[in-house]
Chain A
Amino acid sequence: MALAATLRVFPAGAFGSRRAVHMLERNALIYRKGWYFLVSGFFEPFFYLLSLGIGLNHLIGTVHVAHTAVTYAAFVAPGMLATSAMNGSMLDATFNTFFRLRVDHTYDSVMATPLSVEDIALGELSWCLTRGSLYSVSFLVCMWALGDTQSAWAILCLPIAILTSLAFASAGMAACTFLRSWQDFDLVMLALLPMFLFSATFFPIDQYPGWLQLVVRATPLYQGVALARGCNLGVFNWAMAGHVGYLVVMSFAGIVMTSRRFRKLLTP
């Protein structure tokens, strides 16, 4: 719901109406039977963090970030938080949206009701974000419980994770309207995997050669990782405003594009 409020700052109607909430109701009704998927999402980060903490802390020891020595788990955890926000919302926004758009024709039946294309887009994005936020909260709680949070500022990792989710969900939803078949999803994976591996999630960015650093700094995931890591440590700089700006612009562009594409596909 926080997100619905966030989105309300945009001009009324242009990005959907109060009716968008019915898309959330619809998804809640559908997932009522599949609640264990939701629960498994809660446990996933716990296992990740636990295995990293136990295994890699011993192998790697400490890492230096912003002139502070932290355990490897504490270094990697905020990166994983941003990465899981990306993965979760991308999968939701692409696979599920594609299914409802092309296979199930769910949106076609909704179009015959008072909902508008913008309502559908806003409702679906809200659903992605609601789910994503729940996971991020559980991730953050696990981080704290395992001693990977470094300062009280770590609480800011939550809005950062939600913003990262929003940026990827809206861009992913826009992208998925261009996909024609399930095979095209390989393209989505092709975009996600390198980002996952090369976003300074697992190593400090200065470990990369100079040219690769430039590439990494340009990826959307890097923005989320850098923000989450800074917030976790409670170390802030002006570059972070740039990271936030990047994600906000990406979210905005994604929402506009999604609405446009939905209009083209659903109101032929």
Chain B
Amino acid sequence: MSLVAARGLVKRFGDFTAVDGIDFEIYRGESFGFLGPNGAGKTSTMKMVSCISPPTAGTLTVLGQDPKTKGPQIRARLGLVPQEDSLELELSAMDNLIMYGRYFDLPRAEIKRRATELLEFTQLSERANEKADNFSGGMKRRLTIARSLISDPDLLILDEPTTGLDPQARHLVWERLYRLKSEGVTLVITTHYMDEAEQLCDRLVVMDRGKIVAEGAPQALIQQHSTREVLELRFGMNGHSPRADAVADLADRVEELPDRLLLYVGDGDEALAAVHARGLAPQSALVRRSTLEDVFLRLTGRTLVD
């Protein structure tokens, strides 16, 4: 059974169409991603799924119910980590969780028990009684995740869970989300990081300008839309254009970015040898596996993070 089903979902703000008729279905126990650059319409979609913002058109069913009429009942079973942290900065970490639990009508004793567990889970136990205002970005994010779990939701929605965090803080969040995933929590994650999408999502949709441009498991998408490997060449200041032509026949496809050439090939080392054999001397060369970033570039002609 699907937990979320959308058909022709549209969100307009005045004349501007932020979400332009998208279809998707999210199943119990999976971890589902929305990958797309800033402005793709991910947050607008999450606000509709979390029954905060009403759809302009299309049909949406969340947990088998209609958000139009059952908003509060559905929200009672959702956990949301919004893009912007909105903690009660004047309150301690513990009080943040207690207050949030009260919005869900949970009894105080039960909230306390869960809050203690969740602070442990998000590695904030030692700072439980400290004001949230004093927390670092990563700690605030973890507290927001703990908060979203206080009602033991059937579906956890995370809007850009690690944007703006340093690598160490990101890995800590990923590790916790991975734990939730392995415990069978259904996750919906939006991100513009392809590595986040690849690591955390079983299945994802790639969004661009309000539309879904591809859908599938990360590896399947890569196989379908890209080659096995990518050879990245940098030629320094003197430009790539003449060289793009010079190597075009060595690859399935060549993408030209401002600072480098991307050669989509089956075997990167072999292609690099061929480049050298032609007497071309790139300043640097890198052979890597194809990623979702390459899929996005292929489908939209643009990069995920500008």
Show the binding face of A for B, using Cβ within 8 Å. Answer: 17, 19, 22, 25-26, 29-30, 33, 104-106, 108-116, 266-268
Contacts and interface: CB of A to CB of B under 8 A. Distances in A.
B103 interface: yes
24 contacts: A19-B72, A22-B102, A22-B103, A25-B102, A29-B95, A104-B86, A104-B89, A106-B88, A108-B84, A108-B86, A109-B86, A110-B103, A111-B52, A113-B151, A114-B72, A114-B73, A114-B75, A114-B104, A114-B105, A115-B72, A116-B71, A116-B72, A268-B47, A268-B53
B162 interface: no
Contact of B103 (A17, A113, A268): A113
Contacts of B90: 30, 33
B76 interface: yes
B76 A109 contact: no
A30 B88 contact: yes
Contact of B52 (A19, A33, A106, A267): A267
B282 interface: no
The secondary structure that dominates the B interface is loop
Contacts of A25: 99, 102
A115 B100 CA distance: 11
A19 B53 contact: no
A99 to B, nearest CB: 11
Given A25-B102, A114-B104, A115-B103, A30 B86 contact: no
Interface residues of B, number: 29
B80 interface: yes
A114 B95 contact: no
Given A29-B91, A115-B72, A106 B104 contact: no
Interface of B: 13, 47, 50, 52-54, 71-73, 75-76, 78, 80, 82, 84, 86-91, 95, 99-100, 102-105, 151
Contact of B13 (A106, A115, A268): A268
B89 to A, nearest CB: 8
B84 A105 contact: yes
Given A267-B52, A268-B53, A112 B82 contact: yes
A110 B82 CA distance: 11
B72 A112 contact: no
B103 A106 contact: no
A122 B222 CA distance: 51
B101 to A, nearest CB: 9
B132 to A, nearest CB: 12
Contacts of A29: 91, 95, 99
A201 B100 CA distance: 44
A111 B90 CA distance: 19
Contact of A30 (B54, B71, B91, B105): B91
B86 A105 contact: yes
Contacts of B75: 112-114
B210 to A, nearest CB: 16
Nearest to B73: A114
Contacts of B73: 114
Which of B52, B73, B78 is the most central at the interface, judged by chain A CB atoms within 10 Å of its CB? B52
B80 A112 contact: yes
A204 to B, nearest CB: 46
Nearest to A263: B54
Contacts of A266: 52
Contacts of B50: 112
Contacts of A17: 72
A174 B78 CA distance: 30
Contact of B54 (A22, A104, A114, A267): A267
A25 B88 CA distance: 13
Which of A25, A108, A112 is the most central at the interface, judged by chain B CB atoms within 10 Å of its CB? A112
A127 to B, nearest CB: 14
Nearest to A33: B90
A183 B103 CA distance: 33
